[in-house]
Amino acid sequence: MLNRAYRKMCNLTLKKALMLCCGVFFVVFFLAYIAFFNHGAPENIMEQNRQNRDKVRFFEGDLGGEDSHMNDIEKDLAVEAKKAFDYWDTFIKKNDFTAIGEIYDSCEEKERQMVGRTIMLPDVRWGGIKGVKSRTFINYTLDSELTGGKFYLEVKYNGKDLFSRNWELCSLDEDYGDDRIIFCPFIPGDYSFVKDRQIPIYLPKGRYETKGWITDQEEQTIACGFSDFSL
């Protein structure tokens, strides 16, 4: 009798200990999820990133004015760059978009012209899961035929290097089916693209900075983009 009662008491104690351990585990897991991975409502994420709309990397002054150090060609380029910036700035403000990035025709600050912007939008995924996605708008004029090249991407998380990789340009999105937009070769001409990309919900909270650029078959940079957003 005593042995049976003792074993029963031990079993109950073990069950309580297991239940307590499981409870502690789930509490710790829940708190860790809230602290590191729960991004909050899409509306809150977008509101947090609206300040980026006024943080364009390229234009911090009035390039419309003349600079005594510029030659005539440089002045003409500066005027065209100002027009391009004004076009995209008006586009963002008119539609009240939350901007998180810019696309240029070069990575060199003194020579580049804005050809697109990236915005953040709310997104509803399979099962009703809510998150956010990016949408990139590009208007680009290709001066010569594009038969190949590479796409490079660098990502920083909270100021530290997180990811760096490159892909062959012509096969970059061949697995996207109807959403594919890259079909080589590209003949010279004017192009417009709109591309959506889901921002993974499993990314930890923090600040993300990205730089992506495209080179052609001659290894010359033909497009360069930057984004800066927080989750």
Q: What is the CATH number of the domain that holds 122?
A: 2.60.40.10
* Interatomic CA distance for residues 139 and 146, integer angstroms: 16
Q: What domain range is 147 assigned to?
A: 41-230
Quickly count: other Cβ atoms within 10 Å of residue 134's Cβ.
19
In this structure, are 92 and 192 located in the same domain? yes
In this structure, are 162 and 197 located in the same domain? yes
In this structure, are 22 and 57 located in the same domain? no
In this structure, are 200 and 159 located in the same domain? yes
* Sheet containing 150-157: order of strands: 160-168, 150-157, 207-215, 221-230, 98-104, 114-124, 130-142, 189-198
In this structure, are 27 and 111 located in the same domain? no
In this structure, are 21 and 91 located in the same domain? no
In this structure, are 141 and 108 located in the same domain? yes
Write out the chain's pLDDT in tens, 231 residues.
545 544 555 555 655 444 544 444 333 333 343 344 466 889 999 998 987 555 555 444 344 445 667 777 677 778 888 899 999 999 999 999 999 999 999 998 777 899 999 999 999 988 888 999 999 999 999 999 999 999 999 999 999 999 999 999 999 988 888 888 999 999 999 999 999 999 998 899 999 999 999 999 999 999 999 999 999
Helix/strand/coil (H/E/C) assignment for every residue in the chain = CHHHHHHHHHHHHHHHHHHHHHHHHHHHHHHHHHHHCCCCCHHHHHHHHHHHHHCCCCCCCCCCCCCCCCCHHHHHHHHHHHHHHHHHHHHHHHCCCEEEEEEECCCCCCCCCEEEEEEEEEEECHHHCEEEEEEEEEEEEECCCECCCEEEEEEEECCEEEEEEEEEHHHCCCCCHHHCCCCCCECCEEEEEEEEEECCCCCCCCEEEEEEEEECCCCCEEEEEEEEEEC
In this structure, are 159 and 214 located in the same domain? yes
Q: Please give the pLDDT value at position 214.
A: 97
In this structure, are 30 and 55 located in the same domain? no
* Interatomic CA distance for residues 70 and 16, integer angstroms: 79
In this structure, are 115 and 172 located in the same domain? yes
Q: Are 120 and 227 in contact (CB under 8 A)?
A: no
**Residue 202 CB-density burial (10 A; 0-12 exposed, 13-18 middle, 19+ buried):** exposed
Domain count, the chain: 2
In this structure, are 28 and 49 located in the same domain? no
In this structure, are 113 and 68 located in the same domain? yes
pTM of this prediction exceeds 0.85: no
